[in-house]
Structure 1
């Protein structure tokens, strides 16, 4: 037996490359594919340390040695996020990996390409063959060969129900959804292709002229060499808020997109696209609306003597200087209370303690430690 190293703190040391999630079938497939990848990466390697030629002569070829298998298995969980879970799963199936290496791979190294099926379907029974599903690996319905997939295909789970691809419908996904797709079929297969986005269902081909009716946001045209559905430009009717948004026409619809914060009306999303500048901005270099620094204006824009102006994007604030705080919309000096001043206690009880720890009751003072109290 060769030991399997469990590196409990590997995920705290090395960066995560793969999220190790899914059921046992998914984990088994990841393990099998990682093992095959390790075989390819280690091809041509030799025994490490000491006299490698002596080791080859006495221990056999490194290519099929237990040392190589140990090195490969030890690296299977090196690139996953949930390293501990990976090692726990790997430890549970280690004997299958060892048995496959010693009995199958040693005898025929080409068998590595069938390792996923051998490990996950035959040995561990975590998965089913393709087009089989469920605990007993029952056969999937034929939808997998048409326009759908079998729920649980290749796993020991799922219902086996057909899950139709986009545009396909029916119990076996063997028909097209004619509300959005058109059907083309030859002797061997069915193909459902999406109608042109301008069509309102029941189309006969992929182009606008193949429509039976035009969808919302489109209008029908049949004039000269033009035939089909033409996009309606909803922006002509100015559906957006012109002071804060601009209208962008899209196929069959439109979008109202916000102007840059410096704009009062715009034709695009940047400060260059402003029709006029918003309050607090003015035209600058390159016809761009730039912030006005109100604090640089002539005169003191803040009225109070203890106020200082601070510029903000598109505006400004009048803050109090250090040592002042705002009260009744004015900056007033912060005054620290005297140590000997009476506390609010005096208002309610007539008692207070001065800075010398003397208790005052009314107009009489008592030493705080006096036995008279």
Structure 2
């Protein structure tokens, strides 16, 4: 099928949409940078408070401190520490608007103590007050004090970017974050406020917080005679849960799990050697518990080759060569003596007369 070419008008529209998206992101970044600058400036003010003073002539310090407090020296010290050397956007903002910092520092801070508001919101216009968004600082849904009615985040909140769309917190949904998602119910709700509370674990949806308030039971739960959702015991049903032959079923709330049988069992109904359907090879039932068979203690000899002995192991046994013998080609033969071991007795005999002489 031949594809239709995209017209110039559509390409232009796509370019405009892309540009708007980038612009909104850039505005958010600019506000974030500005907040970083003003936050660090505030820390610098706190750090330089009464710096290099303390002890000595108090009257002189107070006179000198009052001069330093609003001095250009102090402003310079603060500005020099506002940005990390690697933060390009931060350093550029400080350098480009150093005159604004000087204006605020010397003329405006008394009447405008909130530097972020004066610098970022009112002067640079890269931020909005909290609870507002966009180029014109429109109020978020729910108002400045409770954006998204307190149940979500307003896109662009506090910046000149974003579209004010609410991203609801878990448990909430809807354009205004006033609706409850499936599995939650509205404990308190009106036109401007909603409090969504999680349903009982057994409920798919509900009108209250107990298992009797379920509108529908979740999978793994079923309705009883009192119209309450109760756990289905998959392990005790006529159609038992699908576990393997060497596994047993464990019931959980709303579900089940399978776990491997004890190694002494050949099939089982639970954990441990006393829950076996039958015993594995090498084990036998002793008063309801699968216990290891000591094959070596049985009357019939199992290890009949020369110089062999029987060693019992869990569920089995081994035929091993007795001490002083080793297995070679399927037979137990005397352990070979190395040349060094042969020489040791001779050395001892040679040294013996010398030892007597020393005595």
TM-score, normalization by structure 2: 0.52
- Trace 1:99-118 onto structure 2 (pairs within 5 A): 99-105=103-109, 107=110, 111-112=112-113, 114-118=114-118
**Aligned pairs, how many?**
236
SS in 2 for 1:209: coil
- Trace 1:68-83 onto structure 2 (pairs within 5 A): 68-78=74-84, 82-83=86-87
Map Cα deviations across residues 334-370 of structure 1 (whole Å, 9 max, x no partner).
Answer: xxxxxxxxxxxxxxxxxxxxxxxxxxxxxxxxxxxxx
- Trace 1:13-92 onto structure 2 (pairs within 5 A): 23-46=29-52, 61-78=67-84, 82-92=86-96
For the Cα contact (< 8 Å) 2:178–2:193, is it kept in 1? no
- Trace 1:154-193 onto structure 2 (pairs within 5 A): 154-177=158-181, 179-183=182-186, 184-185=188-189, 189-193=193-197
Alignment gaps of 5+ in structure 2:
1-27, 272-278, 281-325, 330-359
SS in 2 for 1:100: helix
- Trace 1:244-323 onto structure 2 (pairs within 5 A): 250-254=252-256
Map Cα deviations across residues 207-230 of structure 1 (whole Å, 9 max, x no partner).
Answer: 22221221012233346xxx7333
Question: Mean Cα displacement is larger for which, 181-190 or 192-201?
Answer: 181-190
C-alpha displacement at 1:131, in angstroms?
2.8
SS in 1 for 2:212: helix
SS in 1 for 2:228: strand
For the Cα contact (< 8 Å) 2:154–2:165, is it kept in 1? yes
Map Cα deviations across residues 72-92 of structure 1 (whole Å, 9 max, x no partner).
Answer: 2222234x9x53443233323
Alignment gaps of 5+ in structure 1:
1-21, 269-274, 277-297, 302-373
For the Cα contact (< 8 Å) 1:121–1:129, is it kept in 2? yes
For the Cα contact (< 8 Å) 1:56–1:62, is it kept in 2? no
2:155 corresponds to which residue?
151
State the distance in 2 between where 1:53 and 1:33 align.
Answer: 32
Q: 1:147 to 1:60 in 2, by over 3 A?
A: closer
Larger radius of gyration: 2
C-alpha displacement at 1:125, in angstroms?
0.8
For the Cα contact (< 8 Å) 1:46–1:62, is it kept in 2? no
C-alpha displacement at 1:121, in angstroms?
0.4
For the Cα contact (< 8 Å) 1:46–1:52, is it kept in 2? no
2:200 corresponds to which residue?
196
State the distance in 1 between where 2:195 and 2:89 align.
Answer: 43
Structure holding more helix per residue: 2
1:219 corresponds to which residue?
222
State the distance in 1 between where 2:174 and 2:164 align.
Answer: 15
